[in-house]
Structure 1
Amino acid sequence: MFGSLLLGIATLLGLIYAFLVSNFGHWRRRGVLEPRVLPLLGSFPNIVWPRQHFTMDMRDIYMRYRNSHSYVGCFLLRAPKLLVLEPRLVYEIYVSAFSHFEDNDVSKMVDIAKDRLVARNPFVLEGDEWRRQRAVFSTLLTNGRIRTTHAIMQRVCRDLCEFISRKSEGGTELDVIDLGLRFTGESLFDCVLGIQARTFSDNPLPVVRQNQEMSAENRGLAIAGAACGLFPNLPRRLRPKIFPHSHDRFFGAMISEALRLRRSKHQERNDFINHLLALQKEHDLSEEDMASHAMTFMFDGLDTTSNSVAHCLLLLARNPDCQQRLFEELQEISSGGDLPDLDALIDLPYLSACFNESLRIYPAGGWASKTCTKAYELKGSHHSEPLKLRPGDNIMVPIYALHNDPDFYPEPDVFRPERFMDGGLKNFKQRGIFLGFGNGPRQCVGMRLGLALAKAALAAILQRFEVLVSPRTQKGTEIDPKIFVGVHRGGIWLEFNPRTI
């Protein structure tokens, strides 16, 4: 009896082991080097056992093989991924050969039948559908409509600075990740929905809490990621729901209420929600479609913009000379402390350089994953024969590693905004070594709005306050291994000293 039990356990363990390693060799059989890979853990063990952020595993592989290979074969748990190491090929995949790599791999993780709030989000759609929905969504983000939000941004920035003054009185340090979420939540709710979220008041809508449930505490996202890694060919209908039900209820109710109020008041304004209502008639959009288009702003902008603002403030606080130079640039166009005109703000060269340099050090996404949609021959400089990619092959781009490669960015840990001055941004993007907002036809659809919001927040804060690093903030630029989206380890705590204007 006991022997039979042991035999059964051994057989079961053998079957599990065989399953976990069954895909290993996928790339080797196609002539591609496979670095060391472990059962269950794959090529990026810290995704399961987070001693460091798993993008650091990608960086380690990148640094080990970048001078000898243009790409290597890796495994996300047991899902085969081609990790592209040569920047020229990265640009090729994003831009010049885009028609062969149109889909984002995240689309395989999301079942839009379960997660209706992203059913029209271009980022998660495939094939011709992403084109149709991006075309619809892009009409919401004209320069004219973004300009109409500037008055709202001015109001939100005043509230933000008053909140900082109130909460930092007596030298109290502030959690800047929380501060950034309050700012982006208030801005997006008012700009997109015409609703004031009251995030700087004592009775706010639970925007920050909802965001925490979606990102830091989202079990559905973790389960979906594990399912994709362990069962890469699992039918989409069997994928778990990613958005928490509380998220659906809260944002769904807010969007429905915003649409109801605007219809009842018959207001004609050149803003996002009015244009959504016009699009509903033109494209025969359902209420679900409308909610999903509105939610695209929230889904794509809350975390990314708030974290980018927080990281830029941290780096400026650590580099007082850069902070002073930026303050002087802001004073030149608005010496009275008011938020500059939006066009002037967007075009400020040193502000842009500071923001891009912070995105380099702390990219909003440390990696990207693309899917080959049409057969393509990838011709790496380090390989004698091209690699024949097939539809369905997955490509990983190690964004964090490219952004922190000392060959491209000497002293990569040093905050040096001058890198992005005088055409630096264009040069880095064309070389495939800067992907702060992605690149090519599928770069971030909300980039212009995100830049407008982030630059407004940074300008408003730095005009009113000198920003200092709190001793509570950890040194270095290490990313927190326990948070999926890249955030400075241990949080960002800063002090704000009022300036005399």
Structure 2
Amino acid sequence: MFQWLVLTLIGLISLVYIFLVWNFGHWRRRGIREPKALPLLGSFPNIVWPRQHFTNDMRDIYMKYRETDSYVGTFLLRTPKLLLLEPKLINEVFVSAFRHFENNDASRMIDTRKDKLVACNPFVLDGDEWRRQRGIFSPLLTSGRIRNAYCNMQRICGKLCDYIERMSSSNQPQNGMDLGLRFTSDNLFDCVLGIEARSFTETPLPVAKHNKEMSEDNRGLALAGALNGLFPQLPRWLRPKVIPKSYDQFFGQLVHEAFRLRREQRQERNDFINHLLDMQQEHQLSESQLLSHAMTFMFDGLDTTSSTIAHCLLLLARNPDCQQQLWQELDQASSRDQLLPDFDVLSELPYLGACLNESLRIYPAGGWASKTCTSPYTFHGSLHSKALQMYPGDNVMIPIYGLHHDPNFYPEPQVFKPERFLNGGLKRYQQMGVFLGFGNGPRQCVGIRLGLIQTKAAIAAIVKRYEVHVNGRTLEGIQLDPFIFVGAHKGGIWLDFKRR
């Protein structure tokens, strides 16, 4: 009896092992180099055993093979992923060959029938449905509405600075990520929903709590990622719900209430919520679809914008000469009693834009991208003698963090040098395919203009009024927290502020 149990156990372990390594060799059989992959862990072991952020695993592979290969075959757990190393090919995937790589890999993880809050979010949709929903959403983000929202941003920037003033009186360091999230939630709730998030009061809406449930403590998302890595062809109906129920309820009820109040009052304002209601009639959207379009602002803007604000403040605090140069630009662009310049002036300030882009280079909000081949395409890598035929269903990964930290493109990549992005630097790096702070091509961040202006407004307001210093509680160097999916400085961003 005991022998049969042992044999059964050995058999089960053998079957599991065979299952985990079955796909290994997938790329080698197609003539592509495969860096070593481990059972269950794949090519990026820190996804499972997080000693460093897994984008560093990707960066390490990129740095090791970028001089010898245009691409290498990797495995996300056991799912084959072609890791692109040559910027020319990366630019093809995002731009010139976009119609062959239309779909984001996120669509393979999410069942939009279970997670209705993202049912109309362009980032998680495929093919024609992506085009349709983006076509509905994009007209929301006109220059006129963003300009109108800027009036509210100026007021909220004043609240942000007053909050910093109050908190600084305690002589305790302030959490940069918390400041960024308070500003971003107050701004998005106001300009999109016409609701006060009360982020700078003692009784704020619990946005931070629910955002943490979604982005940091999300077991459903972790499970979806694991299943996607282990079972790449998992049927949609078996995919888990990724949005926590408490998050669903909080934001769902809040947005429904915002729409109810605006319908009752029906104020004719050139803002986002009015246009959302007009859009519902024009496109015959259900209440659920309307809710999802409103939530696209929150999903795409809360974490990315707040993280960018915090990391930019950290880098400016570490580089007082750069901070002083930015203050001088802001001081010349507006009067002493004016917290922010006019909308058009702020949008075009060259050094402010350069600081923001350099921050996104060092701490990209998304350290990688994953795309799915939707129609046959041939890669002609300059480091390979034979072309590589890609087929529908093949996946490619783009090591954004690795590209952004490559000394071949960015000498001294760990050093904050905003001047890299002056005098046409941004356009040059984008054309090279080595700067992807907001993605690139038709599926780049749909809210890029709104995200840029609110990020610039927050940074400008703080630097105009305060000297920003790094508190000793902040860890040195550029370290990503391995337990946070979106790239964030390990240990938190702790800052001190001194009134100018």
Whether these two folds match at TM > 0.5 is yes
In 1, the alpha carbon distance for the partners of 2:32 and 2:393 equals: 17
In 1, the alpha carbon distance for the partners of 2:472 and 2:6 equals: 55
Letter in structure 2 aligned against 1:269: R
Matched, 1:105 2:69: no
In 1, the alpha carbon distance for the partners of 2:48 and 2:460 equals: 39
User: In the TM superposition, what whole-angstrom CA distance separates every residue of 1:194-233 from its partner, at most 9, and x where no partner exists?
Assistant: 0000011001110111100001111111111001001111
In 2, the alpha carbon distance for the partners of 1:18 and 1:150 equals: 57
In 1, the alpha carbon distance for the partners of 2:285 and 2:170 equals: 52
Q: CA deviation at 1:291?
A: 0.3
Paired positions, count? 499
Matched, 1:338 2:322: no
Q: Which residue of 2 aligns with 1:303?
A: 303
In 2, the alpha carbon distance for the partners of 1:401 and 1:208 equals: 30
Q: Which residue of 2 aligns with 1:65?
A: 65
User: In the TM superposition, what whole-angstrom CA distance separates every residue of 1:375-400 from its partner, at most 9, and x where no partner exists?
Assistant: 00011001111100000100000000
Q: TM-score, normalised by structure 1?
A: 0.99
User: In the TM superposition, what whole-angstrom CA distance separates every residue of 1:137-173 from its partner, at most 9, and x where no partner exists?
Assistant: 1000011100010111011101100110001114321
Q: Which residue of 2 aligns with 1:450?
A: 451
Q: CA deviation at 1:190?
A: 0.4
In 1, the alpha carbon distance for the partners of 2:193 and 2:229 equals: 37
Q: Which residue of 2 aligns with 1:472?
A: 473
Q: Which residue of 2 aligns with 1:252?
A: 252
User: In the TM superposition, what whole-angstrom CA distance separates every residue of 1:390-416 from its partner, at most 9, and x where no partner exists?
Assistant: 001000000000000000000000000
Q: Which residue of 2 aligns with 1:362?
A: 363
Matched, 1:393 2:413: no
Q: CA deviation at 1:298?
A: 0.1
Q: Any conservation in 2 of the 1:358–1:415 contact (CA below 8 Å)?
A: yes
In 2, the alpha carbon distance for the partners of 1:269 and 1:111 equals: 35
In 1, the alpha carbon distance for the partners of 2:490 and 2:407 equals: 22
* Aligned partner of residue 74 in structure 1, secondary structure: strand
In 2, the alpha carbon distance for the partners of 1:59 and 1:442 equals: 23
* Aligned partner of residue 366 in structure 1, secondary structure: coil
Letter in structure 2 aligned against 1:396: M
Q: CA deviation at 1:97?
A: 0.6
Letter in structure 1 aligned against 2:219: R
Q: CA deviation at 1:338?
A: 2.0
Q: Which residue of 2 aligns with 1:198?
A: 198
Letter in structure 1 aligned against 2:80: P
Q: Any conservation in 1 of the 2:158–2:339 contact (CA below 8 Å)?
A: no
Q: CA deviation at 1:485?
A: 0.5
Q: Which residue of 1 aligns with 2:279?
A: 279
Percent identity among equivalent residues? 66
* Aligned partner of residue 26 in structure 2, secondary structure: coil
In 1, the alpha carbon distance for the partners of 2:363 and 2:353 equals: 15
* Aligned partner of residue 149 in structure 1, secondary structure: helix
Letter in structure 2 aligned against 1:14: S
Q: Any conservation in 1 of the 2:32–2:73 contact (CA below 8 Å)?
A: yes
Q: Which residue of 2 aligns with 1:215?
A: 215
Letter in structure 2 aligned against 1:81: K
* Structure 2: runs of 5+ lacking an equivalent: none
Q: Any conservation in 2 of the 1:171–1:496 contact (CA below 8 Å)?
A: no
In 2, the alpha carbon distance for the partners of 1:170 and 1:465 equals: 16
Letter in structure 2 aligned against 1:198: R
Letter in structure 1 aligned against 2:36: R
User: In the TM superposition, what whole-angstrom CA distance separates every residue of 1:78-101 from its partner, at most 9, and x where no partner exists?
Assistant: 000000000010001100111100
How do 1:148-163 residues align onto structure 2 when only pairs under 5 Å count? 148-163=148-163
* Aligned partner of residue 268 in structure 2, secondary structure: coil
Q: Any conservation in 1 of the 2:339–2:465 contact (CA below 8 Å)?
A: no
Q: Any conservation in 1 of the 2:297–2:447 contact (CA below 8 Å)?
A: yes
* Aligned partner of residue 360 in structure 1, secondary structure: helix
In 1, the alpha carbon distance for the partners of 2:343 and 2:172 equals: 31
* Aligned partner of residue 467 in structure 1, secondary structure: strand
Q: Which residue of 1 aligns with 2:83?
A: 83
In 1, the alpha carbon distance for the partners of 2:357 and 2:284 equals: 39
Matched, 1:14 2:24: no
Q: Which residue of 2 aligns with 1:415?
A: 416
Letter in structure 2 aligned against 1:60: D
Letter in structure 2 aligned against 1:152: N
Q: CA deviation at 1:237?
A: 1.1
Which deviates further from its counterpart, 449-458 or 163-172? 163-172
Q: Which residue of 2 aligns with 1:293?
A: 293
Q: Any conservation in 1 of the 2:470–2:496 contact (CA below 8 Å)?
A: yes
Q: Which residue of 1 aligns with 2:324?
A: 324
* Two-structure CA RMSD over aligned residues (Å): 0.6
Matched, 1:484 2:485: yes
* Aligned partner of residue 162 in structure 1, secondary structure: helix
Letter in structure 2 aligned against 1:332: Q
* Structure 1: runs of 5+ lacking an equivalent: none
Q: TM-score, normalised by structure 2?
A: 0.99
Q: Which residue of 2 aligns with 1:119?
A: 119
Q: Which residue of 1 aligns with 2:405?
A: 404
Q: CA deviation at 1:59?
A: 0.6
Q: Which residue of 2 aligns with 1:24?
A: 24
* Aligned partner of residue 468 in structure 1, secondary structure: strand
Q: Any conservation in 2 of the 1:171–1:497 contact (CA below 8 Å)?
A: no
* Aligned partner of residue 454 in structure 1, secondary structure: helix
In 1, the alpha carbon distance for the partners of 2:169 and 2:388 equals: 60
In 2, the alpha carbon distance for the partners of 1:215 and 1:481 equals: 13
* Aligned partner of residue 480 in structure 2, secondary structure: coil
Q: CA deviation at 1:334?
A: 1.0
* Aligned partner of residue 73 in structure 2, secondary structure: strand
Q: Which residue of 1 aligns with 2:173?
A: 173
Deviating beyond 3 angstroms after TM superposition, the runs of 4 or more aligned structure 1 residues are none
Q: Which residue of 1 aligns with 2:3?
A: 3
Q: Which residue of 2 aligns with 1:494?
A: 495
Q: Which residue of 2 aligns with 1:371?
A: 372
Q: Any conservation in 1 of the 2:259–2:273 contact (CA below 8 Å)?
A: yes
* Aligned partner of residue 213 in structure 2, secondary structure: helix
